[in-house]
Amino acid sequence: MNTTSCEVKPSATERCGCYTISDLAKEFEVTPRALRLYEESGLLEPQRDGQKRIYSERDRVRLRLIIRGKRIGCSLAEVKELFDMYDSSPGESGQIKRLLEKLDERRQALELQRSELALSLADIEQIEQRALETLRELENKGH
């Protein structure tokens, strides 16, 4: 039985809010390599126990943000940009406005993507229609 219910697995050495690299990797379905890359890219700064990385709750939150960032199509560099913005002045209206601008950029990019995607689907429909037509002709002839 777990006396120290840290997360799912008790690291036994430490208490709550502490994750090993593979803890987080499993939870977010990424590889340890990815986490190290994020660190190298300046997106995470886990503490160390000797050589071993120890991720805090804050790191975990950041990781979640990284993944969300990626999902909305940000590169790691862009995510870092957002982090830096937020870090430099967590409560300064100028920075928040910059953040809003960035978000707007992203949204525009996504909406462009969306419209192109719609075009693509239309393209596919069209090609499909032609193919179906050809197919019908063939089956009429064969019949």
Partner DNA sequence: CGCTTTCTTGACGTTAACGTAAGCGTAAGT
Partner DNA sequence: ACTTACGCTTACGTTAACGTCAAGAAAGCG
The bridge status of strand 47-49 relative to strand 52-54 is antiparallel
Cβ proximity to DNA, 92 vs 123, nearer residue: 123
**Among its own copies, DNA, none, what does residue 112 contact (CB within 5–8 Å per kind)?**
none
61 contacts which partner out of its own copies, DNA, none, CB within 5 to 8 A by kind? none
**Which residues from 65-104 bind its own copies, rule CB under 8 A?**
68, 71-73, 91-93, 96-97, 99-100, 103
Contact 56, 47 (CB under 8 A): yes
Contact 31, 25 (CB under 8 A): yes
Residues 6+ apart with CB under 8 A from 102: 78, 81, 82, 85
* Distance, CA of 101 to chain centre: 20
| Residue 88 near DNA by CB under 7 A | no
Please count the residues of this chain forming the interface with its own copies, following the rule CB under 8 A: 34
Burial class of residue 23 in the structure, from the number of CB atoms within 10 Å of its CB (0-12 exposed, 13-18 middle, 19+ buried): middle
How far apart, in whole angstroms, are the C-alpha atoms of residue 138 and residue 64? 53
Q: Which is nearer to its own copies, 16 or 121 (CB)?
A: 121
Binding site for DNA (CB under 7 A): 12-13, 20-23, 30-34, 36-37, 50-53, 70, 75-77
Binding site for its own copies (CB under 8 A): 68, 71-73, 91-93, 96-97, 99-100, 103, 106-107, 110-111, 113-114, 116-117, 119-121, 123-124, 127-128, 131-132, 134-135, 138-139, 142
